[in-house]
Amino acid sequence: MSTGKPPADNLIIETRGLTKRYGGVTAIDNVDLAIPRGEVFGIIGPNGAGKSTLVGLIGGALPPSSGSVFYEGADITLLLAAERARRGIGRTYQIPRPFLDMTVAENLQVPLYSVNPLISRRHAEEMVEANLLRTGLAGAAKQTARNLTLLRRKRLELARALMLKPRVLLLDEVGAGLVESEVSELIELIHSISGDETSIVIVEHVIRIVRECCRRVAVIHVGAKFAEGRTDDVLADKEVATIYLGTAHGEGKAEVRHGTVQTESSVAKAASSEVLLRLEGITAGYGQARVLNGIDLEVRAGEAVAILGTNGAGKTTLANAISGTVALTGGAIRFMGNDVTTLPSHMRMKCGIAHCMEGRRIFSTLSVEENLLIAARGVDAAERRRRLDRMYGLFPALHERRDNPGTALSGGQQQMLAIGRSLMSDPKLIVFDEISLGLAPIVMDLLYKTLTELRSAGLTMLIIEQDVERAIDIADRACVLEHGRIALSGAASLIRSDTRLRQLYLG
């Protein structure tokens, strides 16, 4: 899908064969982009696709393994980020990074004086005032950045970038953590900035921002450019939906009652077993960013429940809240009838909650076997041996490499090790967070075969997954998060065919 390459003399940014490798992992694979002057261009794709890496390569924060970056026709591949900024390439970050103890006005003076140290004080104040007015921060000039709300910090991030008078502005996940009304304000701000003098590249999971701001988009999948074209055409494409959902999503619609789809079999199964985990109106976040907004959920013994949603919907925060690595700001968590809301994570593990975290988190200084045994501390030798033998039975490759350093394994083997380590605590409930991220399909098949065996053995599982099809195949029920709330839930087989699932992912 493509609308054709813009004329070369009208390009502001062009990448040719841009590639970034980390060891044996290719994060960006031979990406060609051509972005005209004055255009608002979107870069979208599922979690882990390589979008932020691509922005880092364009902005100069990362050096490419191969390929080239051109700015206004000049090759800037070897230029550092600071020099690219001086030439007119500005950027923001998903998590705002202001100088917290400086005022808003002082934060804007930093980039200004870095590129023009001899500017007069009067001229500097005029420029700061103009950008504060432009970004809606005029009334906050004397406030310290620490006291700003999340939306105002994002405005400040934009204002600082604008102080460089950029010809290109790279916006990385500017909509993350914002409520709907704040997204509307952000869209207005982007429209006010864009124009003939400023081209904007938006990396975003909030599809509304992409749809309302970007004329064209490129879809990145496993590091490569999967599609490119006019925004409405790309977002309507079924193959793009497949990239996001992991399936050529069905067009039927299940019966709905009060926002929940159910079947008799799922209701019967849920009613036949005890409630193992109960979430009661839980809220949580990071600093000023409120991510979970009142989650109610019951998980019964022996169930497999899929937690779905776009990046930024709150899935990983939900996993962290259940395991205790993120503190709640409201609500309660009950496990086996006991209130565990204030228990630290290691005590929750002793209660029977295991968390196989996104990113594997392998201890590099420990061997494979030592990584496994660390989760079975306090257990007698005979029981440790029994659990270890079970893990080696599930994952023979780990037994073959039991004396190797944990991080010397392939990506798939490291994920096996992460799963095995979680199981070594002999949990009653295990939370799997994005275990297929970055893995080849054949490895994903193997891992999900193991999960199917664990489900058949009666292990209760919460499966957080970007590949909707795989999660739904194994789950009894599914919940789809949107803006930190459950937007759709019910029997997994019916969620698959509900037309609202695609709408929640792609708008």
Q: What is the pLDDT of residue 469?
A: 84
pLDDT at residue 297 greater than cutoff 70: yes
pLDDT at residue 303 greater than cutoff 90: yes
Q: What is the pLDDT of residue 258?
A: 34
Q: What is the pLDDT of residue 255?
A: 37
Q: What is the pLDDT of residue 9?
A: 66
Across the range 203-221, mean pLDDT stands at 90
Q: Label residues 313-349 b or e (16+ Cβ within 10 Å = b).
A: bbbbbbbbbbbbebebeebebbbbeeebbebeeeebb
Partners of 227 in the β-ladder: 219
Partners of 432 in the β-ladder: 356, 463
Q: Is residue 55 classed as helix, strand or coil in its secondary structure?
A: helix
Q: What is the pLDDT of residue 283?
A: 95
Q: What is the pLDDT of residue 256?
A: 34
Specify the pairing of strand 216-221 against strand 224-230.
Answer: antiparallel
CA-CA distance, 286 to 246, in Å (whole number)?
Answer: 29
Q: Higher pLDDT residue, 23 or 142? A: 142
Report pLDDT digits (tens) over 417-467.
Answer: 999 999 999 999 999 998 877 666 677 888 888 899 999 999 999 999 877
With cut-offs at 50, 70 and 90, classify the pLDDT of residue 5: low
Q: What is the pLDDT of residue 93?
A: 82
Q: What is the pLDDT of residue 483?
A: 85
The percent of residues above 70 in pLDDT, for the chain, comes to: 91
pLDDT at residue 181 greater than cutoff 70: yes
CB atoms within 10 A of CB 264: 8
pLDDT at residue 52 greater than cutoff 90: no
With cut-offs at 50, 70 and 90, classify the pLDDT of residue 246: low
Query: Which of 33, 30, 22, 26 minimizes the C-alpha distance to 67?
Result: 30
The percent of residues above 90 in pLDDT, for the chain, comes to: 51
User: What's this model's pTM, rounded to 2 decimal places?
Assistant: 0.67
Q: Higher pLDDT residue, 123 or 268? A: 123
Q: What is the pLDDT of residue 180?
A: 75
Q: What is the pLDDT of residue 377?
A: 85
Ramachandran region, residue 103 (left: φ > 0; alpha: ψ -120 to 50; beta: rest):
beta
Report pLDDT digits (tens) over 91-150.
Answer: 988 778 899 999 999 999 998 888 888 899 999 999 999 999 988 899 999 999 998 887
pLDDT at residue 262 greater than cutoff 50: no
* Minimum mean pLDDT range among 46-60, 143-157, 269-283: 269-283
CATH 3.40.50.300 applies to domain 260-506: yes
Domains 8-236 and 260-506 share a fold: yes
Q: Is residue 447 classed as helix, strand or coil in its secondary structure?
A: helix
- The torsion defined by the Cα of 143, 149, 155 and 156, in degrees rounded to 10, comes to 40
CA-CA distance, 167 to 198, in Å (whole number)?
Answer: 5
User: Domain-by-domain residue ranges, the chain?
Assistant: 8-236, 260-506
pLDDT at residue 8 greater than cutoff 80: no
Across the range 316-331, mean pLDDT stands at 94
Q: Higher pLDDT residue, 244 or 452? A: 452
Q: What is the pLDDT of residue 446?
A: 85
Q: What is the pLDDT of residue 114?
A: 85
With cut-offs at 50, 70 and 90, classify the pLDDT of residue 208: confident
Q: What is the pLDDT of residue 382?
A: 93
Q: Is residue 423 classed as helix, strand or coil in its secondary structure?
A: helix
Helix (H) or strand (E) holding 104: helix 104-115
* Minimum mean pLDDT range among 72-86, 193-207, 348-362: 193-207
Q: Higher pLDDT residue, 8 or 126? A: 126
Compute the residue count for the chain.
507
Query: Which of 358, 373, 473 minimizes the C-alpha distance to 423?
Result: 373
Cα-Cα-Cα-Cα dihedral sign, residues 442, 448, 452, 458: positive
Q: What is the pLDDT of residue 409?
A: 80
Class of domain 8-236: alpha beta
pLDDT at residue 237 greater than cutoff 60: yes
Report pLDDT digits (tens) over 375-434.
Answer: 888 889 999 999 999 999 999 989 999 998 888 887 788 888 999 999 999 999 999 998
* Minimum mean pLDDT range among 100-109, 132-141, 243-252, 304-313: 243-252
**Residue 12: φ, ψ to 5°:** -100, -40
Tokens at residue 278, please?
A: 């109960």
With cut-offs at 50, 70 and 90, classify the pLDDT of residue 196: low
Across the range 303-331, mean pLDDT stands at 91
